[in-house]
Amino acid sequence: MKRISWDQYFMAQSHLLALRSTCTRLTVGATIVRDKRIIAGGYNGSITGGVHCVDEGCYVIDNHCVRTIHAEMNALLQCSKFGVPTTGAEIYVTHFPCLHCCKAIIQAGIKSVYYAMDYKNHPYALEMFEQSGVKVEYVELKDMAVSLNNPDKLAFIQRLISKLEEAGASNEEIKKWYEEANHLFSTQA
Distance CA 108, CA 86 (A): 6
Enumerate residues 6+ apart whose C-beta is below 8 A from 22.
44, 45, 46, 52, 53, 54, 55, 68
Closest by CA to 86, choosing from 42, 119, 116, is 42
User: Which of these, 110, 53, 44, lies nearest to 72 by C-alpha position?
Assistant: 44
> What are the φ and ψ backbone dihedral angles of 57, each rounded to 5 degrees?
90, 165
Task: Name the CA radius of gyration of the chain, rounded.
Answer: 19
Are 43 and 29 contacting, i.e. CB atoms less than 8 angstroms apart? yes
Q: What is the pLDDT of residue 150?
A: 60
Q: How confident is the model at residue 147, as a pLDDT?
A: 57
Query: What does pLDDT average to over the chain?
Result: 88
The reported pTM is 0.77
Instruction: Kindly list the catalytic residues.
Output: 72
